[in-house]
A and B are shown apart, each in its own frame.
Chain A
Amino acid sequence: MDTDPIVELENVVAGYGAMTILNGTSFRIARGAITTVIGPNGAGKSTVFKTIFGLLRPRSGSIRVDGRDATKWSQRELLAAGVCYIPQGRNIFPELSVRHNIELGAVAAGPELKDMPARLEAALDRFPALRRKADRQASTLSGGEQKQLEIVRGLLLDPKLILIDEPSIGLSPLMVQETFTLLTQWRDKGASILMIEQNARSALQMSDYGLVLELGQTRMHDKAQAILNDPQVAQLFLGGVIGGAGAV
């Protein structure tokens, strides 16, 4: 579907212990676009991200990132290639300050990153709550604010490819909107975004492409509009045709 994809999976087989979750998963993700992955619980969506990011090693198959074989890359190599991964759930360091949490987003660039203070200030400016609580322990943030912290931390090194797993969970509708706007801005600056979302309708509405994953395999991969209009998808994942937005 795409001749110059940012990420490409080819027949990836992976799982936990003896259990196989990705059963020959293949797809090519478009460069400079937002692609939303939807699918039932347990379909293996998060497992795909863990496998791309080297936390889970494929038993067979290959992963290419930005045209290079990334199947055996370490997290540091992935970060150096401009990939960032913002996992599902809470992923902060509770006893470090908000500022120091965000600063850790630049670890991969090493100590020679000169404009670090400017980047940090820009990140704090993105969300007023983070600025206000910059010197407090990160555990004092609300759930939504913690997610905002994770997002600005992930964006600190200007990634080329953003893997973001269910950013809207636990966020107020306003915060979801802010997050989606931020991702769209990043896409407009040239980044490629691969996002998993339960909030399928609103996510697809702001996406360029949609990908339906089922039992660890690509069931459908098309323009987001086409996925939104597909009657079968609508029934299964979008909570009917009308008023499905915001359903979790």
Chain B
Amino acid sequence: MANFVALLIAGLATGALYALVAVGFTLLWQTSQTINFAQGEFVMLPAFFMLAAMHAGLPFWAAILVGLALSVAILGFAFKRLLVDPMLRHGVLPLAIATMALSTFLKESVKTFYSAEASPFPSIAPDAYLHLFGLSVSWQNIVVLGVAIAAVVALQFLLQRTRTGRQMQAAAQNPTVARILGVPVERMILYTFLINGALVALASLLISPIYLAKFSNGDTLGLAAFIAAIVGGFNQIRGAIVGGLLLGIVDNLSAAYISTQYRGAIPLCLLIVIILFRPNGLLGRAEERTV
């Protein structure tokens, strides 16, 4: 039983990470119909920004800030202006294909210019276990869970409780009407890209100590975020959170009780089951757009 609870907590921690990435993915889809197939690489890359900053002599905390800033600037702002805006004029599909090309480009660039090997990455959590009620839970998991929850709560607060957040929602739900009411729709869309830049940097910071920083880290992460978003309904932030958590738990439990060999297949099975029984996802609705 204690073992099961520990696994559950580890699963939640993994799931919270997936959720962070899936939430960013969903935000981009909601506001600009961007299906970002490079989202996994977006999580892989900031760790290298941070490593490079440390090589340049910065302390870890400053390297984190540099990585976060670069991530918002490059994976948020530049991504929107240089790739999404020009491609979206040609349609949703050309844009999706362009993000696939970007994913390969980022992966190969890191491999060529940084390293093909996995690089150790410092952790913000102490390397120790917390013993509580006969359970031992790693601080790693607790910190991951705590930071991810804080990020999601902050994001929900922004979206629900602030004027700007509600304007972002309005721009996502009905851009034409938002424009008619004077909402600066373009700016609201840009904000979601900046937020995604910050979310992937956070995820990168949390996940790289566990998996080590490696150019190919994006493969599984991107897939996990994609599946979590679809499982959750694709067009809902709450859905992406539930989808991410569910996936993390299933992932960890199946690795422990079934076999690590099938670990890669389990998320896909989950996806198929959900698509069969709830085509709009766990919390999703059919897309409807007027005007």
Q: Which residues of A contact B (CB under 8 A)?
A: 53, 55, 75-76, 79, 85, 87, 89-96, 100, 103-105, 107-108, 111, 153
In the complex where A89-B290, A103-B166, A107-B167 touch, is A94 in contact with B173 (Cβ < 8 A)?
yes
Seen from chain B, the residues whose Cβ lies within 8 Å of a Cβ on chain A are: 163, 166-167, 169-170, 173-174, 176-184, 288, 290-291
Which of B166, B179, B182 is the one whose CB lies under 8 Å from A100? B166
Contact A91 B291 (CB under 8 A): yes
Contact B170 A96 (CB under 8 A): yes
Question: Can you name 11 A-B pairs with beta carbons within 8 Å?
Answer: A55-B179, A89-B290, A91-B291, A92-B177, A95-B169, A95-B173, A96-B170, A104-B181, A107-B163, A107-B181, A107-B182
B183 & A107 in contact (Cβ 8 Å cutoff):
yes
Least CB distance, A213 to chain B, in whole angstroms: 21
**Whole-angstrom distance between the Cβ of B250 and the nearest chain A Cβ:** 28
The reply to whether A104 and B170 contact each other, CB–CB distance below 8 Å, is yes
Please indicate the chain A residues that have their CB under 8 angstroms from the CB of B181 in the complex: 75, 79, 104-105, 107-108, 153
Least CB separation from A79: chain B residue: B182
Please give the distance in Å from A113's CB to the nearest CB on chain B: 11
A53/B174 in contact, CB under 8 A = no
Contacts of B166 in A (CB 8 A): 96, 100, 103-104
Contacts of A85 in B (CB 8 A): 180
User: B182 and A55: CB pair below 8 A?
Assistant: no
Contact (Cβ within 8 A) B174 A93: yes
Task: Tell me how far the C-beta of A96 lies from the nearest C-beta in chain B, rounded to whole angstroms.
Answer: 6
Instruction: Say how far A150's CB is from chain B's closest CB, in angstroms.
Output: 9
* Nearest A residue (CB) for B183: A107
Of all chain B residues, the one with the shortest Cβ separation from A86 is: B180
What are the residues of chain A within 8 A of B180 when measuring CB–CB? 53, 55, 75, 85, 87, 91
Q: Which residues of A are found within 8 Å of B169, using beta-carbon distances? A: 93, 95-96
Q: Given contacts A87-B180, A91-B180, could you give 17 more A-B pairs where the C-beta distance is less than 8 Å?
A: A53-B180, A55-B179, A75-B179, A75-B180, A75-B181, A79-B181, A85-B180, A87-B177, A89-B291, A91-B290, A91-B291, A93-B177, A95-B169, A100-B166, A105-B181, A111-B163, A153-B181
CB proximity of B91 to chain A, nearest CB, Å? 16
Residues of B contacting A108 with CB < 8 Å? 181-182
CB distance from A158 to the nearest CB of B (A): 15
Contacts of B184 in A (CB 8 A): 76
Q: Check A96/B177 contact, CB under 8 A, given A79-B182, A107-B182, A107-B183.
A: no
CA distance A94 to B183 in the complex (A): 16
Contact A55 B173 (CB under 8 A): no
B156 to chain A, nearest CB (A): 13
> Of A76, A87, A95, which one neighbours B182 at CB under 8 angstroms?
A76
Q: How far is the CA of A105 from the CA of B173 in the complex (A)?
A: 15
- Closest-by-CB residue of A relative to B170 is A93
Contacts of A107 in B (CB 8 A): 163, 167, 181-183
Chain B residue nearest in CB terms to A91: B177
Which of B174, B179, B182, B183 is in CB contact (< 8 Å) with A92? B174
Q: Is the CB of A90 within 8 A of B182?
A: no
Q: Shortest distance in angstroms between A148's beta carbon and chain B's nearest beta carbon?
A: 16
Report A-chain residues with C-beta under 8 Å of the C-beta of B173. 93-96
- Per the bound structure, the CA–CA distance linking A79 and B290 in Å amounts to 22
The reply to whether A55 and B176 form a contact with Cβ atoms under 8 Å apart is: yes
| Contact residues in A for B170 (Cβ distance below 8 Å) | 93, 96, 104
Nearest to A89 among chain B residues (CB) is B290
Residue of B nearest to A101 (CB): B170
| B residues in contact with A87, CB < 8 Å | 176-177, 180, 291
Min C-beta distance of B178 to chain A, whole Å = 8
Q: How far is the CA of A105 from the CA of B184 in the complex (A)?
A: 13
| A94 to B291 CA separation, bound complex (whole angstroms) | 14
Quote the shortest CB–CB distance from B141 to chain A (angstroms): 33
Contacts of B288 in A (CB 8 A): 94
Of B163, B166, B178, B182, most buried by chain A (CB within 10 Å of CB) is B182
The distance in angstroms between the C-alpha atoms of A195 and B183, with both chains bound, is: 24
**Interface pair A91/B174, CB less than 8 Å apart:** yes
Q: How far is the CA of A53 from the CA of B182 in the complex (A)?
A: 11
Chain B residues near A90: list those with CB within 8 A: 290
Cβ contact within 8 Å between A104 and B167: yes
Alpha-carbon separation in the docked complex, A111 to B163 (Å): 8
From residue B26, how far is it (CB to closest CB) to chain A in Å? 13
